[in-house]
Amino acid sequence: MISINKKYQLVTVLLASFIIMIMPVNCLYSQTQNNDTNIIKSVSIVESIDNQSDESLINNGSVDTTQENPWLWEVNYFGKSFYLVNALMVVIVASIAIMFVLLALILLNRSRLERESKLRQFLLEKYQSLILDYLFVGSGIEGFYKIASNSFRRQVLIDTIIDISINLKGESGYKLQQLYIDLQLDKDSLAKAKSKKWHVKVKGFKELAFMNLKEGNDEILSALQSKNDILRMEAQIALVRLSEENPFEWLYFQTHPFSLWEQITLHSMLIQHEIKVPLFSQWLDSPNYTVVMFALRMIREYNQTDNEDAIFEVLHHEREEVRQLAVEVCGDLELASSLKILKSRYKYEIYPIKIEIIRSMAKVPRESMLGFLKLVLDKEDDVQLQIESTKAIENLGDAGIRELNKLMDSEYKNYQIIIRHVLDKRIV
């Protein structure tokens, strides 16, 4: 923090610098005016001597000799005229004045930030001591009222309580929440959640979520429809933390696309905070296809195979990316009952999904699919499809390898290259 004596010294230095910078400019201006006066006098004498020759030159379109000096260029502006040097002087003086004003504002702002930093550090130590006394000694809350006298001090108190609440559970956590309410800090957080500024809303959502206060749930739910990605994601995180029975109930109201980054963030929350995992099959019929994809990923992650029929329904979804992910999930979960459906869907699907169907069959090897896989190998002209079907046949075990050896010996079609490629263990 800058002391008062230092501030007076700083102002004195600034004024001295300003005077030093102005003096050469004034001298230059006075010298220029004297030179310009002499030039004008000289030009007037020359004009009086050679009047006839000047008149002929002027009539022929020549320029006045006074215009040869750039400092004597005359500018007409709203009926008034002034020389260029006057305009430059005004610009110089204005620029210097603006520079000093900005410098003063920067110094004042820096001084304010330094004061706030020191005050924050003092308040943090004081609040931590008061909170620990309140939780473990049994002291009252009167000491908080004396210090938390304005919005800045109350915000520091909110931040301190939230930091301490992270490591507290059980009765201590409940007492800290009650302190938050008794000091009416919940009203501050609710006011932030209702703010028109998105970054203030985010701060309010976080405070309500950390203190497990559900008064702002309606406001948080409305933020799910926001076009602001950050605000929407923070609303989702807050609702997951605030819901005990079904932390993902808000997915029923999710209309905006559910980005992959948001899905990863929420999955990390499930692991980090040990949140109860719901049955994600309940969202497989959501009208929002991104929610369906999130549900499929979570079903695969937590191996939720209780409702296979709901997964099979997604194989007929109108969006290609959803159907492809559903095929992957069937393979990763080794759902043998899905093979017949995958087989029937094969001829109707686009190329990437056909590839995924064959790969899923390779993950769930069943001899009942041998005839179909041989048909794909024989009828498809695409090399990648032939390779994937050959791999799937190989995964059938001895029966599949015997069938591949028969095909290698066959003269009907030349399968040797593809089969040797798949059976060669040196190729990964």
* pLDDT tens-digit map of 241-296: 888 778 888 899 888 888 899 999 889 988 888 888 899 999 999 999 999 999 99
Q: Are residues 324 and 378 in the same domain?
A: no
- Helix ranges (H only) for 133-228 are 142-147, 151-165, 170-182, 185-193, 198-210, 217-222
Residue 377 near residue 347, CB atoms below 8 Å: no
How far is residue 313's CA from residue 19's CA, in Å, rounded to a whole number? 83
- Domain range for 412 is 365-428
The residue count for the chain = 428
Query: Would you say residue 74 lies in a domain?
Result: no
How far is residue 284's CA from residue 62's CA, in Å, rounded to a whole number? 88
How far is residue 158's CA from residue 208's CA, in Å, rounded to a whole number? 11
CA–centroid distance for 92 within its chain: 43
Q: Is 402 a residue whose pLDDT tops 70? A: yes
Residue type at position 269: M
How far is residue 253's CA from residue 291's CA, in Å, rounded to a whole number? 10
Rounded alpha-carbon distances, angstroms, from residue 210 to 50, 75, 189, 215, 348: 93, 67, 11, 13, 50
Of 264, 314, 261, 262, the closest CA to residue 289 belongs to 314
Query: Would you say residue 67 lies in a domain?
Result: no
Check residue 60 and give its pLDDT.
46
How far is residue 294's CA from residue 290's CA, in Å, rounded to a whole number? 6
Q: Are residues 326 and 296 in the same domain?
A: yes
Place 390 in a pLDDT band, splitting at 50, 70 and 90. Answer: very high
What spatial distance separates the first Cα and last Cα of the chain, rounded to whole Å? 67
How far is residue 192's CA from residue 204's CA, in Å, rounded to a whole number? 5
Residue 151: count other Cβ atoms within 10 Å of its Cβ: 9
**Residue-averaged pLDDT of the chain:** 81
How far is residue 12's CA from residue 219's CA, in Å, rounded to a whole number? 54
How far is residue 400's CA from residue 362's CA, in Å, rounded to a whole number? 11
Check residue 24 and give its pLDDT.
46
Q: Are residues 371 and 412 in the same domain?
A: yes
Lowest model confidence (mean pLDDT) among 59-73, 229-243, 329-343: 59-73
Query: Would you say residue 341 lies in a domain?
Result: yes
Q: Is 363 a residue whose pLDDT tops 60? A: yes
Query: Would you say residue 377 lies in a domain?
Result: yes
Rounded alpha-carbon distances, angstroms, from residue 255 to 261, 264, 319: 16, 18, 16
pTM of the model: 0.69
Query: Would you say residue 407 lies in a domain?
Result: yes
Check residue 422 and give its pLDDT.
80
Tokens of 73: 């260029």
Instruction: Tell me which residue has tokens 């701060």.
Output: 203
Residue 132 near residue 167, CB atoms below 8 Å: no
Query: Would you say residue 165 lies in a domain?
Result: no
The residue with greater pLDDT, 406 or 363, is 363
Domain count, the chain: 2
Query: Would you say residue 327 lies in a domain?
Result: yes
Pairing of strands 74-77, 80-83: antiparallel
Left if phi > 0, otherwise alpha if psi is -120 to 50, otherwise beta: which for 303?
left
Residue 293 near residue 325, CB atoms below 8 Å: yes
Q: Is 409 a residue whose pLDDT tops 50? A: yes
The residue with greater pLDDT, 35 or 425, is 425
Query: Would you say residue 225 lies in a domain?
Result: no
